[in-house]
Amino acid sequence: MSNDQPGDLMSVISEVFAPREVTLESAFEDLEATSVTLLRLMVSIQSTFDVDLDVVDMFTVANIGELVQLVEERIPASK
């Protein structure tokens, strides 16, 4: 994993929502996210960053910035 985790995380998020432009302020409803999209995003983040996320997490964060903060808090420290 790269040292640039927030940038890498935004890349993963942007890939799921492409071609829409994604910023930290983007709300999921503005991105027209569906439950399927949020599940795809959750799986992509889990597999890329080895982080535990729950379906509930995906529906309780208000925007991309809150999701990024949540994921950064849960990313395991490098050994």
For the chain (length 79 residues), average pLDDT per consecutive 10?
65 97 96 96 95 95 96 80
Alpha-helix runs per DSSP H in 1-49:
5-17, 35-49
Structure tokens at 59: 């529906």
pLDDT of res. 76: 79
Q: What is the reported pLDDT for 75?
A: 86
Whole-number pLDDT of residue 77: 74
Between CA 65 and CA 27 the distance in angstroms is 9
Give residue for tokens 């503005």.
Answer: 30
Tell me the sheet residues that pair with 27: 63
**pLDDT for position 52:** 94
**Domains of the chain by start residue, with CATH:** 5-74 (1.10.1200.10)
CB contact at 8 A, 34 and 74: no
The pLDDT score that the predictor gives to residue 5 is 64
Tokens 């890349």, residue located: 11
Looking at residue 6, its pLDDT comes to 61
pTM (2 decimals)? Answer: 0.85
